C-alpha cells in the first residue's frame, strides 16, 4: 500500500443507513471506523471528510419546529457548524474505540472548518441545493414573499428551499489541519463541505449556502499536500452505461478519459458527476497524485490497487 497523506471523503451511507437516531448513526460509524483502522494500522496519515445532508436537514427541521421569540431559529451556517461538531464527536468516539481494539496509540481530533467561497460565484445567482423540509406550493410561495428565501418544486414531492452551492476557494483552517496531521493525529475536518464564509473588512462572515463535500475534500487535499484523494460512495467502481446491458466498470482511468465520458453525459449531475470532477481537479495538480472512487467496504483493497476506480493524470 502506498504510504503518505490521504484525504478520505465518507459517503452518506458511512453515517446513516435509514435510522436517524443517534444510536443507529453511532453504530454505523463504528463499522466505518473498523474499515478505516485497516489503513491507520499501516501508519498512513489520514484526514477524514464527511457529509452532513440528512443530519443538517434534521437540525433545520428541529429549529423550525421549536422557533419562537425566545428561541429563534439559527441560520444555515450555524446549523452546519452544529452538525460538524455532532458528527465529528461521533466519529472521534468510533475511531478511538477501534484504535483501542487494535492497540494503536493515536489522537483523534475534529476541526470545525470554515471554507472560503467567492461572493461573486455564479452559484449565488442560481440556487440549486435543496435543504430542509417540504412545503405545499401555497405555503412555499407565502414564505418566498415574506423572506428572501428561494423555493423550488422537488421531484413531485413538494416545494423545498434551495440555496447556492458555490465552489470552495480555500479552507481557512488548512494549516492547522496539516500541522495536526503531520504530528500523527487523525483529523476530522470540512464536515458537510465546511461552513461557507466570505471575506469582509471585519473578518469572515458565514453565508446561506451549501458546499459540495467532494469539492471541499479535493480543495483540502490540495492544500495539505495529500498524495491520494479517496471518495467513498455506494458502489465499488465508477461505471459507464450504468444499469444498461453494455455497462462497464472503470478500473484504471485517466482524467482525459473521464472528461470524454462527461461529454457523453455518463455521470448523473447530483450523484457521481461531482465526485468525478473533484477527482479530475485533484490529479491534475502538482506532483504525482491519484484519486480513488470506491465503496467503504473496498477502500483498503483500492489503496492496494486491487479494487475501485483509480484515476491518474
Could you give the residue numbers annotated as active site? 12-13, 129, 213, 275
Region of residue 155 (left: phi > 0; alpha: psi -120 to 50; beta: else): left
Residue 32, classed as helix, strand or coil, is: helix
Helix (H) or strand (E) holding 50: strand 45-50
Closest C-alpha to 57, from 25, 26, 80: 80
Burial of 264 (0-12, 13-18, 19+ CB in 10 A): exposed
CA dist., res. 53 & res. 277, Å (int): 20
Tell me if 219 sits within 8 A of 115, measured CB to CB. yes
Cell 499536500 belongs to which residue?
225
Burial of 287 (0-12, 13-18, 19+ CB in 10 A): exposed
- Find the helix or strand (DSSP H, E) in which 139 lies: helix 137-146
Amino acid at each position: 500500500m502506498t504510504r503518505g497523506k490521504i484525504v478520505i471523503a465518507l459517503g452518506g451511507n458511512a453515517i446513516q443507513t435509514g435510522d436517524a437516531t443517534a444510536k443507529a448513526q453511532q453504530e454505523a460509524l463504528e463499522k466505518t471506523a473498523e474499515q478505516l483502522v485497516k489503513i491507520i494500522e499501516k501508519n498512513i496519515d489520514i484526514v477524514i471528510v464527511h457529509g452532513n445532508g440528512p443530519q443538517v436537514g434534521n437540525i433545520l427541521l428541529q429549529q423550525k419546529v421549536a422557533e419562537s421569540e425566545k428561541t429563534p431559529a439559527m441560520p444555515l451556517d450555524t446549523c452546519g457548524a452544529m452538525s460538524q461538531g455532532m458528527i465529528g464527536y461521533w466519529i472521534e468516539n468510533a475511531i478511538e474505540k477501534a484504535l483501542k481494539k487494535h492497540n494503536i496509540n493515536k489522537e483523534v481530533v475534529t476541526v470545525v472548518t470554515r471554507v472560503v467561497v467567492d461572493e461573486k460565484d455564479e452559484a449565488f445567482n442560481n440556487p440549486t441545493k435543496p435543504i430542509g423540509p417540504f412545503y405545499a406550493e401555497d405555503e412555499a410561495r407565502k414564505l418566498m414573499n415574506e423572506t428572501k428565501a428561494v423555493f423550488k418544486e422537488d421531484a413531485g414531492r413538494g416545494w423545498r428551499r434551495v440555496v447556492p452551492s458555490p465552489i470552495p476557494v480555500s479552507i481557512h483552517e488548512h494549516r492547522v489541519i496539516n500541522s495536526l496531521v503531520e504530528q500523527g493525529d487523525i483529523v476530522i475536518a470540512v464536515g458537510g463541505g465546511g461552513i461557507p464564509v466570505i471575506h469582509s473588512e471585519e473578518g469572515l462572515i458565514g453565508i446561506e449556502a451549501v458546499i459540495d463535500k467532494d469539492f471541499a475534500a479535493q480543495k483540502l487535499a490540495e492544500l495539505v499536500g495529500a498524495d491520494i484523494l479517496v471518495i467513498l460512495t455506494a458502489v465499488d467502481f465508477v461505471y459507464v452505461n450504468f444499469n444498461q446491458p453494455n455497462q462497464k466498470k472503470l478500473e484504471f482511468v485517466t482524467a482525459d478519459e473521464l472528461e470524454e465520458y462527461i461529454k457523453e453525459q455518463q455521470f448523473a449531475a447530483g450523484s457521481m458527476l461531482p465526485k468525478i470532477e473533484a477527482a479530475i481537479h485533484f490529479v491534475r495538480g502538482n506532483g504525482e497524485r491519484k484519486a480513488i472512487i470506491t465503496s467503504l467496504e473496498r477502500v483498503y483493497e483500492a489503496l492496494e490497487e486491487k479494487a475501485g476506480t483509480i484515476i491518474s493524470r
